[in-house]
Structure formats: C-alpha cells, structure tokens
C-alpha cells in the first residue's frame, strides 16, 4: 500500500454540515540514478550501465517500471536485475518495498563507426500512483566513443621519397573496405565512421591499387588494427627492375658489355 496525501474539498468550516471532506490520494516517491562504467570506450568496446531505482516512501510502490531504451550506436549483450526483468526498452520492477532499491546492469558494446559520437542513455521510472517529486524520476548519462583510424605513408623503398597520388585500399578483419589517396608527404588516412569506412579490430590489409608513378610495382602490408587509437601502416613501393646474366648460348660463357633490350 502506498503512502497517501490529503485533499480538502470545498466547504465552509464555520457552518455545520459544510466542514471540508478529507479525501486520501495514493502516491509514491521514486528516484533514479544511472551511471556508465567507461564514458570513453573504443569502438567495439564494452559499455556497462548501472541503473538504480529507489522507493523513498515507507510503504510499497506498486507496478514500478523503468523505461530505458538502449540508444542507437550500441548493441545489447546481456542484462541482469536484482528485481524484475529487463526487456529492451523496459525494466519491469514490480512492487518495490518502502525504502528499498533495485539495480539493473546493462552490458552492451559500442558499434563500429561510432567513434567521435556522443551517445546519451536515459532511464525514467514510474509506478501505479503519481509521484510527489517527479524531477528525480529520470536520469541520463553520456559517453563519447573513441575513434579508430589508420594512418601511414607510401614511399620509394630505396630513396624514401614520398609517392603522391597513390590509391590505397584497406580491408579490415571483417571484410570492410576503405579507400584513400596519398597526399603531400605520401600520407594517407582512413577513419572508421567517416566516408563509409569501418575499421574492425584485427589484422587488416593495406594495398596500393593504382596511381603510383610509372614503372612502380604495387604492393601491400598487413597491419593490426587496435580500436580507439591511430594505427600506423607504412607502405614502400619499388620501381620495376630486371636482373640476370647474359651468356653465350653454346658455351654458357658470360658476355660482358652485352646490351639487353
């Protein structure tokens, strides 16, 4: 049974038979807090929310529910509650005893491509009766996902000279593709979540697919992508070359000074 407040109806307290009638109105007083274990996770990193609902009255609050929709950009992994059950987006708490608290833990992951994005999660409690102090029924917490990027240079393998205008294609461990073109200094940069690019953790392939100066052989490297940081993948290209020994067809004797066309 919930605590009650009173409401006086119209009446004249000085006239017999017109004294105010006292009507009891059931009410409750819930409060909610919400925290996140890491407010700066990397893409694909763990996000753990803790929601606590408290009944501040001495009597029980019935039909307690907490609306807590997992926001876009996160994927639900598991959840656990000390009372009731959570099925996104609602935590059905049930009857909460006077002075009692219940706790919900939500385990999620930050999706690929969310780097640099602020994600806000809100929880709001309600019960069968109106709340005396609704201002503390809602709580929000935000997080900012760390960005994952891949940066490097493309240079001549012998001279170290930067190669400008080379087309770079990256393929991450999940098969996602990104493209970039080397600029001044032979530098390229791809960032997960930008220009349709995604960079999953694990071994990636960085390949020069075109745009190299005439005569250069294209090549590739395999850097490991770590989420939430600027990863490095430097690539060197070499001009095509041919080497060998020119010999006499009959005797096999090397021919010094022969011209190869």
185-204 tens-digit pLDDT: 999 999 999 999 999 999 99
Indicate where the chain has its CATH 2.60.40.10 domain(s): 149-239
pTM of the model: 0.81
pLDDT at 4: 47
Statement: residue 117 has pLDDT above 60 = yes
Rounded CA separation 238/213 (Å)? 10
Which regions of the chain carry the CATH code 2.60.40.1510? 4-9+19-144
Distance CA 98, CA 102 (A): 12
Q: Are 151 and 231 in contact (CB under 8 A)?
A: yes
Burial of 201 (0-12, 13-18, 19+ CB in 10 A): buried
Distance, CA of 142 to CA of 135 (rounded, Å): 19
Q: What pLDDT, in 10s, does the model give residues 5-64?
A: 444 555 566 666 666 666 666 789 999 999 999 999 999 999 999 999 999 999 999 999
User: 149-239: what fold?
Assistant: Immunoglobulin-like (2.60.40)
* Superfamily name with CATH number, domain 4-9+19-144: ntegrin, alpha v. Chain A, domain 3 (2.60.40.1510)
Among candidate residues 162, 39, 51, 28, the one with its CA nearest the CA of residue 106: 51
Q: Residue 5 has what pLDDT? A: 47
* Banded pLDDT at 3 (limits 50, 70, 90): very low
Q: 85 pLDDT exceeds 70?
A: yes
Confidence of residue 216 (pLDDT cuts 50, 70, 90): very high
pLDDT, position 258: 73
Is the separation of the CB atoms in 84 and 92 below 8 Å? yes
What is the arithmetic mean of pLDDT over 75-82?
Answer: 98
pLDDT digits (tens, 9 = 90+) for 219-234: 999 999 999 999 999 9
């Amino acid at each position: 049974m919930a605590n009650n407040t009173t409401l006086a109806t119209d009446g004249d307290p000085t006239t017999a038979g017109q004294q105010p009638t006292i009507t009891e109105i059931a009410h409750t007083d819930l409060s909610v807090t919400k925290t996140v274990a890491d407010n700066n996770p990397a893409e694909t990193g763990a996000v753990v929310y803790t929601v606590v609902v408290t009944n501040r009255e001495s009597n029980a609050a019935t039909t307690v529910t907490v609306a807590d929709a997992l926001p876009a950009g996160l994927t639900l992994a598991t959840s656990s509650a000390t009372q009731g059950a959570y099925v996104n987006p609602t935590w059905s708490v049930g009857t909460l005893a006077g002075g009692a608290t219940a706790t919900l833990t939500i385990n999620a992951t930050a999706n690929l491509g969310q780097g640099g994005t602020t994600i806000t999660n809100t929880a709001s409690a309600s019960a069968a009766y109106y709340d005396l102090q609704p201002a503390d029924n809602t709580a929000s917490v935000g997080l900012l996902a760390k960005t994952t990027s891949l940066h490097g240079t493309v240079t001549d393998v012998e001279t170290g000279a930067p190669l400008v205008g080379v087309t770079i294609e990256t393929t991450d461990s999940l098969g996602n593709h990104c493209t970039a073109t080397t600029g001044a200094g032979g530098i390229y940069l791809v960032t997960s979540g930008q220009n349709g690019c995604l960079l999953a953790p694990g071994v990636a392939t960085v390949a020069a697919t075109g745009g190299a100066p005439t005569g250069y052989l294209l090549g590739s490297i395999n850097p490991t992508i770590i989420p939430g940081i600027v990863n490095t993948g430097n690539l060197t290209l070499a001009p095509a070359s041919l080497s060998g020994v020119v010999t006499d067809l009959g005797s096999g004797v090397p021919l010094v000074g022969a011209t190869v066309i």
